[in-house]
């Protein structure tokens, strides 16, 4: 057999052998193997994609939660601030009110006191006048005959009044 | 450890060489008249009508193979190779003709009356072809059965061996070289790769036949690629051959000639590349072995054993590379035939 001249017999057998191998393998090996590979790759692809999707969803959820939390925090801050303001205002108002009322009360008290004082004074004056009248009356009754004594007594009274 | 072993054996061979230098000179004279010590190389790399395994003393351990012939006047005939040879020496020759047919000492079949005869014998390479086919079938079918049984799960056993190669051929060779229409050609490329690779590797076994280093085998494979390429050639492909765009009309006849020859040089290159790479590897390995018989020295024996081991490892690499290259180039030729060209962009 020659080295570099192809022999017809071997070409014939090689053609038959290789083509038989080709057709058997296409039908019974490559088709199922390639199909399984494609199927597996598709399933891996799908799994990866769904994992990615789940991760995205998780991230979204987390971001949403974060946002909600942030909003809640802001709201809380606002409420707190408002409450604080309100309380401060209420205290201020109360203070103002109370001081005003106090002042009024004091004013009223003062007025009452003044009135009372005046009334008391009037009363005292009246009493003094009455007493004076009484004393005068008694004196007049007892010692109306004695001029000297009368004068003395009147002087005494006047002296006393000045002292008072 | 391995390195130490190599160094030691090299030293050993050098020492032995100095002793055997004299004996070699004396031995070469006694050699005359004996058989050519390198003859077995060519005998090994060529095809044969019988499978010769080993010769112990004068006993030849061979496997007689069927001889199938066809001639117009005698029709199909069946013999065995031992019909045409000396039973002692296992030599073929015209003197051992049987039924008017003989196999000469170059393993050519002929008719005593000089008539034409076709040789469809199951030669050594045909048997080897059947072994390779059986081997590939066994591996790939057991891989396929894994998927059939278990569905699209992770590979196991033969499937885990076959799967990476399938993926490599599909993605790295077919998809990259052919483009979007690659799916149709993946089975062919896979079969090509597995056949050539298995052929290359099994051919390295001692006593095996040099199947993929046979020009008839590489010729057939290249022809199949050629047919596939040209059957699938689209309009752009043929336009490129017979009306090469962008070439002045005056040059067109030359270009068409060149392109037309190019159609055939591609498969020719495929054929020659695989044939040469595998045959050369076998010749190198056998030459190192032949050195032992030429020098008849222990030191050369040690040296050539190291070299043969070394070359064998390289041949394993070459076996894979050549299978890859043949598949890759087939894919590229197919790719050039089915590609949608955009002439405005490329020319």
- Residue A95 reports pLDDT greater than 80: yes
**pLDDT bracket for residue B192 (50, 70, 90):** very high
Q: Model-level pTM?
A: 0.74
Give me the pLDDT at residue A5, please: 86
**pLDDT bracket for residue B32 (50, 70, 90):** very low
User: What six digits make up the tokens of A158?
Assistant: 């006047």
Say how far residue B344 (Cα) sits from the centre of its chain: 42
Most confident residue range from A52-56, B110-114, B235-239: A52-56
Say how far residue B20 (Cα) sits from the centre of its chain: 38
In whole angstroms, what is the distance from residue B266 CA to residue B332 CA? Answer: 10
B209: left (phi over 0), alpha (psi -120 to 50) or beta: beta
Interface check for A16 against chain B (CB to CB < 8 A): the answer is no
Q: What is the mean pLDDT of residues B67-94?
A: 85
Interface check for A43 against chain B (CB to CB < 8 A): the answer is yes
- Residue B15 reports pLDDT greater than 90: no
- Of the candidate ranges A35-49, B20-34, B298-312, the one whose mean pLDDT is the lowest: B20-34
Task: Tell if the CB–CB gap between B137 and A25 is shorter than 8 Å.
Answer: yes
Which class for B124: exposed (0-12), middle (13-18), buried (19 or more C-beta within 10 A)?
buried
Give me the pLDDT at residue B342, please: 59
In whole angstroms, what is the distance from residue B64 CA to residue B57 CA? Answer: 19
Interface check for B227 against chain A (CB to CB < 8 A): the answer is no
- Residue B276 reports pLDDT greater than 60: yes
Strands (E), chain B: 50-56, 59-64, 66-71, 75-80, 101-103, 109-111, 118-119
A to B CB pairs, distance under 8 Å: 132
CB B50 within 8 A of CB B81: yes
Give residue limits of the domains in chain B: 66-121, 125-338
Q: What is the mean pLDDT of residues B67-82?
A: 88
Closest residue to B140, CB basis, from A1, A17, A29: A29
Report the gap between the CA of A72 and the closest CA in chain B (Å): 49
Task: Tell if the CB–CB gap between A1 and B108 is shorter than 8 Å.
Answer: yes
Give me the pLDDT at residue A133, please: 82
Give me the pLDDT at residue B227, please: 95
User: What six digits make up the tokens of B50?
Assistant: 């019988």
CB B83 within 8 A of CB B67: yes
Question: For residues B18 and B98, which has the higher predicted lDDT (pLDDT)?
Answer: B98
In whole angstroms, what is the distance from residue B335 CA to residue B198 CA? Answer: 25
Neighbour count for residue B294 (Cβ, 10 Å): 16
Q: What percent of chain A has pLDDT over 70?
A: 95
- Residue B335 reports pLDDT greater than 80: yes
Interface check for A34 against chain B (CB to CB < 8 A): the answer is yes
DSSP label at B152?
Answer: S
Interface check for B129 against chain A (CB to CB < 8 A): the answer is yes
- Residue B58 reports pLDDT greater than 60: yes
- Residue B25 reports pLDDT greater than 70: no
Give me the pLDDT at residue A146, please: 66
- Residue B17 reports pLDDT greater than 60: no
CB B236 within 8 A of CB B347: no
Task: Tell if the CB–CB gap between A1 and B217 is shorter than 8 Å.
Answer: no
- Of the candidate ranges B200-204, B239-243, B310-314, B322-326, the one whose mean pLDDT is the lowest: B239-243
Looking at every residue in chain A, the average pLDDT score rounds to 87
């Amino acid at each position: 057999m020659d080295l570099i001249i192809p022999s017809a017999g071997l070409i014939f057998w090689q053609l038959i052998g290789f083509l038989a191998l080709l057709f058997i393998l296409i039908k019974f090996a490559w088709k199922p193997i390639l199909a399984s590979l494609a199927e597996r790759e598709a399933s891996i692809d799908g799994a990866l994609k769904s994992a990615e999707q789940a991760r995205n969803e998780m991230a979204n959820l987390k971001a949403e939660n974060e946002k909600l939390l942030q909003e809640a925090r802001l709201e809380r801050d606002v409420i707190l601030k408002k409450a604080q303001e309100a309380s401060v205002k209420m205290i201020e108002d109360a203070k103002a009110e109370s001081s005003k009322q106090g002042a009024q009360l004091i004013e009223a008290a003062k007025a009452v006191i003044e009135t009372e004082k005046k009334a008391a004074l009037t009363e005292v004056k009246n009493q003094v006048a009455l007493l004076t009248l009484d004393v005068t009356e008694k004196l007049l009754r007892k010692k109306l005959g004695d001029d000297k004594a009368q004068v003395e007594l009147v002087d005494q009274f006047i002296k006393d009044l000045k002292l008072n | 450890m391995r390195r130490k072993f190599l160094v030691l054996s090299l030293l050993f061979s050098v020492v032995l060489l100095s002793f055997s230098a004299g004996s070699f000179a004396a031995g070469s004279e006694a050699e005359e008249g004996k058989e050519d010590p390198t003859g077995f190389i060519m005998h090994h790399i060529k095809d044969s009508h019988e499978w010769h395994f080993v010769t112990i003393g004068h006993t030849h351990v061979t496997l007689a193979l069927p001889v199938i012939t066809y001639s117009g006047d005698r029709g199909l005939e069946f013999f065995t190779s031992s019909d045409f040879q000396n039973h002692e020496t296992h030599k073929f020759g015209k003197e051992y003709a049987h039924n008017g047919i003989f196999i000469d000492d170059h393993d050519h079949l002929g008719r005593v009356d000089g008539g034409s005869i076709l040789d469809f014998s199951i030669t050594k390479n045909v048997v080897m072809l059947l072994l390779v086919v059986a081997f590939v079938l066994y591996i790939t079918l057991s891989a396929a059965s894994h998927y059939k049984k278990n569905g699209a799960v992770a590979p196991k056993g033969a499937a885990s061996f076959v799967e990476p190669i399938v993926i490599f051929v599909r993605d790295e060779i077919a998809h990259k070289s052919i483009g979007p229409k690659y799916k149709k050609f993946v089975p062919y490329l896979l079969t090509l790769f597995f056949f050539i690779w298995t052929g290359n590797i099994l051919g390295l076994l001692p006593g095996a036949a040099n199947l993929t280093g046979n020009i008839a085998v590489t010729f057939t494979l290249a022809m199949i690629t050629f047919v596939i390429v040209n059957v699938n050639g689209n309009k752009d492909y043929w336009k490129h051959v017979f009306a090469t765009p962008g070439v002045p009309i005056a040059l067109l006849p030359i270009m068409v000639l060149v392109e037309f020859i190019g159609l055939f040089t591609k498969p020719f290159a495929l054929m020659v590349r695989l044939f040469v790479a595998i045959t050369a590897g076998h010749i190198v390995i056998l030459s190192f072995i032949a050195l032992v018989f030429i020098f008849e020295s222990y030191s050369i024996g040690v040296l050539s054993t190291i070299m043969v081991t070394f070359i064998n490892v390289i041949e394993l690499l070459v076996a894979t590379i050549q299978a890859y290259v043949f598949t890759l180039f087939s894919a590229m030729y197919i790719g050039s035939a089915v590609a949608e060209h955009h002439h405005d962009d490329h020319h």
